[in-house]
Amino acid sequence: MNPEHSSPPWSRSLKVSVAIVLLIAFVLVLWQLQSLLSSIVIAAIISYLLHPIIDFFQRATRLGRSTIIGLVYFLLVVLFVGFFVYAGISAFRQVTNLTTLLSDAATDLPALVEQLNGVIANTNGFLGMPREFGSIVIEIPSIQPDSNNLTEVGNFLSAYLQPAAGYLGSSLSTVAVGTATTIANLIIILFVSIYISNDSPRLSQWVGDIAEIPGYRYDAERLWRSFGRIWQSYLRGQAILGIVIGIVVYVFMLILGVENPLALGLISGLMEFIPYIGPIIGAGAAILVAIFQETNIWGLTSFQFVIAVTAVMIVVQQIENNFLVPRIVGDALDLNPLMVFVGAIAGASLAGVLGTVLAAPVLATIKLIGSYAWRKMFDLDPFPEPEDTPEDEPSWAESAWQNWQLRRAGKPAEDKSASKTSSSKEDTNA
């Protein structure tokens, strides 16, 4: 651009004013789209969790990324629909059994009343009751099929069933609207997640291009990598923890003979996403089931059975906290437990369950940005510590897949550990 046609540089006050206006506009847009924001966040989480699977198959096969994304999401939809169909069939069976039980109870009611009349008639002052009490007889009112009784029955039914029908109709309409809204949200989540998965490899380059002009490309790319480590260690770590804890709780509850072990395993696995409180809820559910369970396969008393279930859940939580969490999640969040606990409560008040689940990584992200801004304000190095840059090597699953392909082709499998050892020896000798 020619200098005579270039616009004058903005003053600091104008820059601040523009930044404030843009920030207010951004907040207002988020406020108006807050109902859609939760769907976008859930879609991004699903995309982030599926990214390793998509990346693995992209490296292991010759298929394009779009094809792999389509196949992965198709399988996800099939599993999701299958689960809800199974749950719906189970719920239908439960309702059918309940209806049959009520119908049988209504059929047996006259006989039960006759038995009760006989018991009352034979008391005759038993346990100090007056003798006249034994003459009380419970009768089921019978209606003779004449016109007056039929008119009374019709008036009774119309007086009580019309409000019930109106309430049932309004409830069905509410359920229908809620179901349609849920299906629409699920479709939005599915398509947004597919687009995010397809464009995720270009996000890092896009962030760097935005920061290129002011000269902050290195800072932006390093912050982006730090964000990735925070969210990866939390979301994927919590997903792995949930699966492992769910399986462990299911196996132990099955061995102890606790009722509904699969449901207890699912509850414990899902509760892993809620910091600190979630594992307590999962353990409390198992203990509560044990308290109300009448018998067990080990012949223990109720108190002994509850103590055994409590001890098992305590052992599971100790293994999780001391062995699984440090190796799966690590210390990427670097947050004080009290801060995470308070953040989870604040997240629940702001965004419900989703806010509780995402409180820890959001706090870690805010801490990262705040630390960067604080050091820049005082002209300090924003990154005082060197960045941990892990080697760009395939995961163990990818290495196993590559070695299997080499064996099929008649070639020797690569030994990564041997090559790393030999290279380190060469470096030492040099």
Which one, of 347, 362, 346, 340, lies nearest residue 275 by Cα? 340
Residue 126: predicted pLDDT: 46
Q: Say which range, 88-92, 227-231, 288-292, 374-378, has the weakest mean pLDDT.
A: 88-92
Which one, of 147, 172, 220, 233, lies nearest residue 369 by Cα? 220
- Given a contact cutoff of 8 angstroms between Cβ atoms, the answer to whether 275 and 361 are in contact is no
pTM above 0.75, yes or no: no
Residue 104: predicted pLDDT: 66
Decide if pLDDT at 306 tops 90: yes
Residue 233: predicted pLDDT: 80
Per the listing, tokens 């490309």 go with 217
Residue 6: phi and psi, rounded to 5, are -80, 145
Q: What one-letter code names the amino acid at 380?
A: L
- For residues 256 and 208, what is the distance between their CA atoms, to the nearest angstrom? 55
- For residues 212 and 221, what is the distance between their CA atoms, to the nearest angstrom? 10
pLDDT band at 252 (very low <50, low <70, confident <90, very high): very high
Tell me the two tokens of residue 341. 């606990």
- For residues 233 and 364, what is the distance between their CA atoms, to the nearest angstrom? 11
Decide if pLDDT at 323 tops 50: yes
pLDDT band at 211 (very low <50, low <70, confident <90, very high): low
What residues contact residue 51 under an 8 Å CB cut-off, 6+ apart?
197, 200
Residue 214: predicted pLDDT: 67
- For residues 293 and 355, what is the distance between their CA atoms, to the nearest angstrom? 35
Residue 163: predicted pLDDT: 60
3-state secondary structure 200-261: HHHHHHHHHHHCCCCCCHHHHHHHHHHHHHHHHHHHHHHHHHHHHHHHHHHHHHHHHCCCCH
Higher per-residue confidence, 206 vs 394: 206
- For residues 95 and 78, what is the distance between their CA atoms, to the nearest angstrom? 25
- Given a contact cutoff of 8 angstroms between Cβ atoms, the answer to whether 360 and 344 are in contact is yes
CA distances from 360 to 34, 236, 333, 367, 425 (A): 20, 13, 7, 11, 42
Decide if pLDDT at 271 tops 80: yes
Residue 102: predicted pLDDT: 60
pLDDT winner (highest mean) among 42-46, 302-306, 400-404: 302-306
Q: What is the pLDDT of residues 276-286, one digit of tens each?
A: 888 999 999 99
Residue 99: predicted pLDDT: 64
pLDDT band at 207 (very low <50, low <70, confident <90, very high): low
Residue 79: predicted pLDDT: 86
Tell me the two tokens of residue 428. 């030492």
What residues contact residue 397 under an 8 Å CB cut-off, 6+ apart?
56
Decide if pLDDT at 133 tops 90: no
pLDDT average, residue stretch 323-340: 78
Q: What is the pLDDT of residues 154-202, one digit of tens each?
A: 555 555 555 655 555 565 567 667 777 778 888 888 888 888 888 777 7
- Given a contact cutoff of 8 angstroms between Cβ atoms, the answer to whether 325 and 241 are in contact is yes
Residue 257: predicted pLDDT: 92
Cα 262 off chain centre by = 17
Q: What is the pLDDT of residues 369-426, one digit of tens each?
A: 888 888 888 888 888 888 765 544 454 455 666 666 666 666 665 554 444 444 444 4
pLDDT band at 322 (very low <50, low <70, confident <90, very high): confident
Residue 53: predicted pLDDT: 85
Which one, of 265, 270, 273, lies nearest residue 237 by Cα? 273
Averaged confidence pLDDT in the chain: 75
Q: How many CB atoms lie within 10 A of CB 329?
A: 17
pLDDT band at 10 (very low <50, low <70, confident <90, very high): confident
